[in-house]
């Protein structure tokens, strides 16, 4: 998919999220093309890190889409780039941040990193003025303990209320998270390009809620390969997110 198409999809999705009413508030991840045109430039990466378990670490960072990012760990006195297991854009309050989970045990390594660091390399330096930094970095990040990573509630069922409506049910959230989020991946139509495409929305859940009703997209023009709807839970607390690799979507057909 071209960057123009991706940008159009994200712009339409953001507009849809801003207009959403009723229970919760929807948000769609920002487009890379849009971020690249941001007027202000920073020569550093704002980031924080925490241990998910003995091998996995979560890094939450700011994002400038002109750069390609990596995470390195200082292990035994030397720096080693850590493979990315999963990453996603997550909305924290009023801003989008990139959440990345890396594996410090890959390749048989057993020693935990003392610190982590995020490095961004300008992807196409020939397209930018010399004043734009070619490399940006975070400070050295000493990982917080695994206790700061919140636990997402288990999604228990997706019940069909009628032909076009399902009720998503989950267990009560534990540990007083800052925000509980229902993620919904469903077909989204972009009128700008005339295309149905899977898109993930993040719906903020009111405190104490354990269910949410969602409408299914049943337009006959939706291609068969993108008709399915998927739902899963996520929580945010203290600037960190529940384990991304533990997310197991429940899929239903319209």
List the one residue out of 60, 4, 34, 46 whose CA is nearest residue 242.
Answer: 60
In this prediction, residue 26 carries a pLDDT of 67
- What is the full DSSP assignment across 128-194? S-TTS-SEEEPPPB-PBPGGGS--PPPEEEEEEEETTEEEEEEPPP-S--SEEEEEEEEEEEETTTT
List the one residue out of 104, 99, 56, 52 whose CA is nearest residue 80.
Answer: 104
146, 49 Cβ separation under 8 angstroms: no
193, 8 Cβ separation under 8 angstroms: yes
Tens digit of pLDDT at every position of the chain (254 positions): 444 455 445 444 444 443 333 345 566 666 443 343 444 444 589 999 999 999 999 999 999 999 999 999 998 888 999 999 999 999 998 899 999 999 999 877 778 899 999 999 999 999 999 999 999 999 999 999 999 999 999 999 999 999 999 999 999 999 999 999 999 999 999 988 899 999 999 999 999 999 999 999 999 999 999 999 999 999 999 999 999 999 999 999 99
Rounded to whole angstroms, the Cα distance separating 224 from 230 reads: 15
Residue 66 is given by DSSP the state: T
In this prediction, residue 239 carries a pLDDT of 97
For 91, residues 6+ apart whose C-beta sits below 8 A from its C-beta are 27, 97, 202
In this prediction, residue 240 carries a pLDDT of 98
In this prediction, residue 30 carries a pLDDT of 62
Rounded to whole angstroms, the Cα distance separating 74 from 76 reads: 7
């Amino acid at each position: 998919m071209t960057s123009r198409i991706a940008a159009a999809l994200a712009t339409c999705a953001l507009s849809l999220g801003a207009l959403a009413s009723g229970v919760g508030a929807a948000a769609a991840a920002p487009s890379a093309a849009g971020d690249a045109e941001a007027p202000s430039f920073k020569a550093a990466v704002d980031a924080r890190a925490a241990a998910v378990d003995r091998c996995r670490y979560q890094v939450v960072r700011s994002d400038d889409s002109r750069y390609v990012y990596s995470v390195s760990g200082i292990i035994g006195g030397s720096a080693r780039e850590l493979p990315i297991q999963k990453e996603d854009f997550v909305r924290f309050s009023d801003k989008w941040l990139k959440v990345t989970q890396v594996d410090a045990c890959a390749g048989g390594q057993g020693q935990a990193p003392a610190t982590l660091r995020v490095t961004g390399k300008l992807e196409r330096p020939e397209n930018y003025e010399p004043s734009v930094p070619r490399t940006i970095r975070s400070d050295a990040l000493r990982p917080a303990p695994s206790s700061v990573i919140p636990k997402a509630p288990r999604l228990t069922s997706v019940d069909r209320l009628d032909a076009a409506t399902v009720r998503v049910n989950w267990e009560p959230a534990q540990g007083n998270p800052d925000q509980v989020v229902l993620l919904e991946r469903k077909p989204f139509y972009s009128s700008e390009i005339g295309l149905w495409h899977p898109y993930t929305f993040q719906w903020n859940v009111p405190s104490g809620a354990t269910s949410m009703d969602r409408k299914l997209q049943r337009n006959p023009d939706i291609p068969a390969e993108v008709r399915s709807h998927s739902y899963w839970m996520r929580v945010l607390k203290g600037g960190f997110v529940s384990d991304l690799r533990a997310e197991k979507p429940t899929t239903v057909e319209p």
